[in-house]
Amino acid sequence: MKPRSRRDTWRLLVLIAPSLFWLLIFFLVPLVMVLVISFGQRGTYGGIVWDFTLSNYARFFDPLYLRIFGRTAGIALATTVICLVGGYPMAYFIATRPPRWRNTLLLLLMIPFWTNFLIRTYAWLLILRDQGLVNMVWTGAVHNLFLHLATAYPAATLFSSLAGLTSVPLELFGTNGAIIVGLVYAWLPDMVLPCYAAIERLDFSLVEAAQDLYANRVKSFLRVVLPLTMPGLVAGSVLVFIPALGAYVTPDLLGGAKSIMIGNVIYSQFMSARDYPFGSAISFVLMAIMLIATLIYFRLGSD
Of the two residues 62 and 212, which places its CB atom closer to another protein in the complex?
212
Binding to another protein by residue 299, rule CB under 8 A?
no
| 84 in Cβ contact with 233 (< 8 Å) | yes
Site string for another protein, 191-230 (x = CB under 8 A): ------------x-xx-xxxxxxxxx--xx--xx--xx--
- In whole angstroms, the minimum distance from the beta carbon of 224 to another protein comes to 6
Task: List, in order, residues 6 or more apart from 133 with CB less than 8 Å away.
Answer: 126, 127
Of the two residues 8 and 203, which places its CB atom closer to another protein in the complex?
203
Of the two residues 147 and 215, which places its CB atom closer to another protein in the complex?
215
CA distance 127 to 173: 9
- In whole angstroms, the minimum distance from the beta carbon of 88 to another protein comes to 18
Cα–Cα distances (Å) from 208 to 90, 93, 202, in that order, read 21, 18, 12
Of the two residues 34 and 215, which places its CB atom closer to another protein in the complex?
215
Site string for another protein, 225-264 (x = CB under 8 A): --xx------------------------------------
CA distance 146 to 152: 10
Of the two residues 183 and 224, which places its CB atom closer to another protein in the complex?
224
CA distance 150 to 183: 39
The DSSP H or E segment spanning 81 is helix 63-95
| 162 in Cβ contact with 196 (< 8 Å) | no
Binding site for another protein (CB under 8 A): 203, 205-206, 208-216, 219-220, 223-224, 227-228
